[in-house]
Every structure is written in C-alpha cells, then in structure tokens.
Amino acid sequence: MNTTQQHLTTRGQIIALRQEGLTVRAIADRLAVSTSTVKRWIRRYAETVAIRNNPFSNTVAVREALHLDVCAQTVRSRLHEASIQHRVLAIKERLTEQHRTGRLQFAQQYVGEDLEFWSRVVFTDEKTFASTNHSKIHLWRPNRTR
C-alpha cells in the first residue's frame, strides 16, 4: 500500500471510529496519530456532510452551523478537495417537439380569443416563478452530477 492509500485508509478509520462514539484522544491512541490530525479529518468530514445535506447553503452558513474557527475560503477549499464544486443551477431544458405540438393545439383551440385572454396565458415551461429571491440559484454538488 502506498502512502496515499495509507492516508486515505487512516482518514476512513478516523471517521468510522468517531461514528462508533470514540473520543478524539482514543482514536489518536488507537491509530497512532496526533489529536490534531484526528480533529482535522473529523472537521473536514463534517464540512463535506453539511454541504451534501444542504447543497443550497453557502460556506459562511456551513462555517457558522458547525461552529468552525476557520474562514469561508478554508471551507471552500475543503469542499473542493472532496470534489464538491459550486455551481449555478442548470439552464432550463429546450422545447421539445411535444412542447411545440401541445402549444400549437392549444393555440388552435383558442384561436378566436381576444388579446386579454392571451395576455394571461403562460406556459409552465416558459417562465420560472419564485416568491422570494429572483436571482440565480447556487448550490454545491460533486463533479459530473446533476
């Protein structure tokens, strides 16, 4: 096993032992590593889990929720190390032939209606509705996922 694989194994053991309820000191003694190493990997794991549980959160909110004594850039760096990237939600899908056909049928059905009727028509795939924030939606997610 090379050094990188040993480090990954140790990190996994730290998290597993912590989830079993062991203290930081007990984990450090069992794995023959420093307590600061154990604390570091527990904190980094907590940051990653927090973003995965709430991908629409930002790094400042994660830092505050976990009571971390680090800057938001550090949280961002740890997320990037875990292959979790900041993204803006994907652009809406393009109209399909089914959409076009449905719209045409609707228009033909109501061809005699006046402008007031048509001013109230909105196709649900044409407009995004929001009751609060009208800006782009940001989120965190692993690479190559939707």
CA atoms of 93 and 110, how far apart (whole Å): 26
- Give this prediction's pTM: 0.55
Strand-strand pairing, 84-88 and 138-142: antiparallel
Contact 1/9 with Cβ under 8 angstroms?
A: yes
pLDDT tens by residue, the chain, 146 residues: 778 888 889 999 999 999 999 999 999 999 999 999 999 999 888 888 888 888 777 888 888 888 888 888 888 888 888 788 888 776 666 778 888 888 889 889 999 989 888 888 877 666 555 556 556 777 777 777 76
